[in-house]
Structure 1
Amino acid sequence: MKRNLMIKALGLTRHFGAIAALFFLITPVATPAESVEYTYDSMNRVTKAAYSSGESISYTYDAMGNRLTMSLAGAAGTAVPGDLNGDCRVTLADAALALQTAAGMKPSVFRADYTSSGADPDGTPPMSLADIVWILQAVAEE
């Protein structure tokens, strides 16, 4: 039993090692710069962060200064390719969702309009290794 678990663990490590090697091969050496413009309220709290890519994050606060809401908007209100969880950013969380979906799992935070919104990197379901690599490359470029 213990030996079988070790063999399975080594096989899993080999697969993740191959994905990591592929990730580092496609990672660009130089990444483009992105600028952020911050807007503050009268209490010097960030109320908006506007990115040069057109994406923005807005915040609201209660009277005690606790953050109430955080709303995200993509460039011109469109979906961000590779954004699987609908937060208008392509992050490692999206890569994890892609891996779960490709493995046949059904994550609960997966956006319902993934394919129709334009968030699917290649526009063809189901999730593929190419989509996962695309998302990982997009994360590396940030």
Structure 2
Amino acid sequence: MWMPVQPERLRVTDLFEHLSFQELQDIAAIAQEEEYEAGHVLFKPGDRAEKIYLIEKGRVSIEIEITPTERIGVYVLGEGNFFGYPALLPSKTYTTVGTCLERTKLITIEASRLLSLLEKDPKRGFKVMQKVAELIAKKLADTRRQLVFCVLPPTRA
């Protein structure tokens, strides 16, 4: 069931913190609220990425699927986190598994509608995509640190 989203609720994430109230109103008009129970799989590798997610309440695990029965956790995301950025990329395909760890309230935005809105206002589009790039870069740095700690023993300087 579609539930409208109030603009100020979009400030739950860093993704939209820099936007004006009017810009938030435009995005809120294409956003909706969704709730899922623990264990619900939002997406898996190969699924078409059609929306982005903002966590308003709850936690979501992002995992890499090693085999159909084995996964490795990469992140546990909580309130205020944004995920689903593959929906904003040309490939539009998920490479990970997203699973709700508990009852989770999400604000979702259909990526095609968001991209259309951003194309109509290049300044706003630049601000949002710059923030997306910043958040992806941070996630890549975090993943690199995790990988280094898993593979290499600590050394003394």
Q: Give me the TM-score of the superposition, normalised by structure 1.
A: 0.24
Tell me which protein shows more strand as a share of its residues: 2
Q: Of the two, which has the highest radius of gyration?
A: 1
Higher relative contact order (CA 8 A, sep 6+): 2
